[in-house]
Structure 1
Amino acid sequence: MRVEIWSDIACPWCYIGKARFAKGLAGFAHRDEVEVVFRSFELDPHGAKGVTSPVEEMIARKYGRTLDEARAMEEHVAATAHAEGLEYRTAGRDHGNTFDIHRLLHLAAARGRQEELLDLTFRAHFGEERSVFDREVLAGLAVEAGLDEDEARAVLADDSAYAGQVRADEREAAELGANAVPFFVLDRRYGISGGQPAEVFTRALEQAWAGREVEEPSAGAEACEPDGACAVPQV
């Protein structure tokens, strides 16, 4: 069975949803026969490259909230992440264009190190004091993930490298009707949107494996939509 996951590094629910999916997969009897592939989806594709802003300021501006309200929203998301065993810092993070990250993830996929780089990038962005919008930081993460440093730097320096693969992923997402991430597709037959609870993923995997129609989750889960709009707790 193949599971494809469309996500963006800037999306907190992709970070949380990936952890929940991993727990759901761990509870699936045939987990060793599941291939997981990560696909590109930019939440803010029109954002200027190299330009960043503090996450809290972005949230306040986008949702018409005060900075204090934006901080409270981030605290609620952090509590959800912590409940999944994830690190999540609410202050000092920045927001920016993720195209370079997606291009580098495609290089990592070609070298068999995609999930390693994705995990490191998520952790750096949400849990550590490192900006993943800095190419020097990205080059360092690539080396940590087991990629060749010179090759990673060459990809980052060439804006066309793996650009076609990123755009192909995004076109496929649109064709499949994905309008928010994370978006999970099982064997190109069933789609699940949002960072659902782990048991939802386990049940979906079991149903798909048995050739049965995958039940729609009873309620939607938090997700992020294009142009950076993410589900945020009401505070």
Structure 2
Amino acid sequence: MRVEIWSDIACPWCYIGKARFAKGLAGFAHRDEVEVVFRSFELDPNSAKGATAPVVEMLAKKYGRTLDEARGMEEHVAATARAEGLEYRTEGRDHGNTFDIHRLLHLAAARGRQEELLDLAFRANFAEERSVFDPEVLLALGVEAGLEEAEVRAVLADGSAYAAQVRADEREAAELGANAVPFFVLDRRYGISGGQPAEVFTRALEQAWAGREPVEPTPTTADACTPEGACPVPRA
């Protein structure tokens, strides 16, 4: 069985949702027979390449909040992440264009190192003081994931490398009706939207395996990120 996950490295609910899916998969009896493929979805495709802004300031501007309120939004997400055993920094993170990251993830997929790179990129973005929007950081992450340095450099230098694959993923997301991430598709028959609890993923995997009636896609909630480039959270 194949599970495809549309996500963006800038989305905290994708970071959390990946961890929750892993827990749900661990509770599935046929987990060793599941192939997981990560697909591209840009939250902010119109942002200028190389331009970044602090996440807290971006949230405040987007939602018309004060900086203190935006920090509170980040603390809410951080608490959720930490409850899943994930590290999460609420200060010092940047927001920017993720197209190059997606291109590099496609290279990693071609070399059988996609999940390794994705985990490193998530960790760099949410837990460490490393900006994933810095080409040198991306280069280092690619090498850490097991890719050849020369090949990573070549992809980062050529903006057309793997660009078609990223765009194809995004078109498929639109065709499937995915308007927020993370978005999970099981065998192209079953859809789950958002970073749902682990037990939701386990149940969906079991139903997909048994070939039962399709699971209704779970409505997008606060546990998902929208294409506008930010992730709403409930008001305190």
**Which residue number corresponds to residue 234 of structure 2?**
233
Aligned mates of 1:30, 1:40 — CA distance in 2: 26
Aligned mates of 1:2, 1:197 — CA distance in 2: 20
Q: Which runs of 5+ in 1 are unaligned?
A: none
Per-residue Cα deviation, 1:75-121 (whole angstroms, up to 9, x for no partner): 01000000000000000000000000000000000000000000000
Aligned mates of 1:218, 1:59 — CA distance in 2: 25
- Offset at residue 232 of structure 1 (A): 1.5
Q: Is 2:89 aligned against 1:89? A: yes
**Which residue number corresponds to residue 103 of structure 2?**
103
**Which residue number corresponds to residue 117 of structure 2?**
117
Q: How does 1:101-180 map to 2 (within 5 A)?
A: 101-180=101-180
- Offset at residue 218 of structure 1 (A): 7.0
Asked if 2 retains the 8 angstrom alpha-carbon contact of 1:200 and 1:217, the reply is no
What secondary structure is seen at the aligned counterpart in 2 of 1:227? coil
Q: How does 1:1-235 map to 2 (within 5 A)?
A: 1-216=1-216, 220-221=220-221, 222-235=223-236
1:218–1:107 CA distance, 2 compared to 1 (3 A): closer
What secondary structure is seen at the aligned counterpart in 2 of 1:228? coil
Q: Scaled by the length of structure 2, what TM-score is found?
A: 0.97
Q: Scaled by the length of structure 1, what TM-score is found?
A: 0.98
Asked if 2 retains the 8 angstrom alpha-carbon contact of 1:77 and 1:233, the reply is no
- Offset at residue 217 of structure 1 (A): 6.9
- Offset at residue 229 of structure 1 (A): 3.3
> One-letter code of the match for 1:140?
A
- Offset at residue 215 of structure 1 (A): 3.4
Aligned mates of 1:118, 1:202 — CA distance in 2: 22
- Offset at residue 219 of structure 1 (A): 6.4
What secondary structure is seen at the aligned counterpart in 2 of 1:225? coil
Aligned mates of 1:56, 1:74 — CA distance in 2: 7
1:155–1:217 CA distance, 2 compared to 1 (3 A): closer
Aligned mates of 1:220, 1:172 — CA distance in 2: 18
> One-letter code of the match for 2:84?
E
What secondary structure is seen at the aligned counterpart in 2 of 1:6? strand
Root mean square deviation of aligned Cα: 1.1
What secondary structure is seen at the aligned counterpart in 1 of 2:87? coil
> One-letter code of the match for 1:46?
N
Give the fraction of aligned pairs with identical amino acids, expressed as a percent.
Answer: 86
Structure 1 runs of 4+ off > 6 angstroms?
none
Aligned mates of 1:163, 1:173 — CA distance in 2: 16
